[in-house]
Amino acid sequence: MTRIEKIDVENWDPELREMTRADEATPLEQGLMRIYAHVPGIAKGLAGFGGSLKMNRTLPERLVELVRLRIAFHNQCRSCMAIRYTDALEDGVTEDLVCSLEKPMEADNLTDAEKVAIEYGERFATNHLSIDDDMYNRLREHFTEAQLVELGTIAAFFVGFGRLAATWSMTEELPEKFQDTSAPIAPWGEEAIVVR
């Protein structure tokens, strides 16, 4: 059961409803905004920031989704693990590919760029101070300086808001496998929900 009361979309600030297109979204797609609607000014800022990360993205959707799901595993954010985004699926994310996240450095269906980005995201989530010059030199073999900024910002967004979402325990709308919070789970090999 969600630990913070969710606000029904008809009770949101009108500007927030419009900017998030909440009236067109399912409750699951409305996601954390149902809680952030308690503080419309913060919610609008978050929506603008998240939208900017999405609309100005240069990294492949597939890569971002793989990093997001590996971070979600470390965060134990069940809603993050249960969701697959349509644009990532259209960019080649399959459940077989998601299953490779169990042991990403051994996977033969991930590119070298994806592996190093996943490792970066994993370290960001588990031991950020281990990200050293060597890690950045390895990342530079595949990504521009601008993309490194983008990857870091996306990882920070996923780690921070994924952990917050995990503490709020928004699980009641998820497939049954994701609702039990008594033991750790993984996004691979599980039933997922596709959202836009």
Q: Which residues of the chain have pLDDT under 50?
A: none
Same domain, 114 and 19: no
Q: Give the pLDDT score at 190.
A: 66
Same domain, 50 and 105: no
Residue 39 domain boundaries:
9-55
Angle (CA) 61 66 69, round 5° = 120
Same domain, 185 and 139: yes
Same domain, 33 and 99: no
Nearest Cα neighbor of 92 from 74, 71, 75, 114 is: 114
141: helix, strand or coil: coil
Task: Indicate whether 151 belongs to any domain.
Answer: yes
129: helix, strand or coil: helix
Q: How many domains does the chain have?
A: 2
Residue 134: give its domain's CATH number: 1.20.1290.10
Same domain, 27 and 110: no
Neighbours of 30 (CB within 10 A): 23
Segments in 93-173 forming alpha helices (H) = 95-99, 112-126, 133-140, 145-168
Same domain, 73 and 35: no
Segments in the chain forming alpha helices (H) = 14-20, 27-30, 33-36, 40-55, 61-75, 78-82, 86-90, 95-99, 112-126, 133-140, 145-168
Same domain, 51 and 116: no
Task: Indicate whether 4 belongs to any domain.
Answer: no
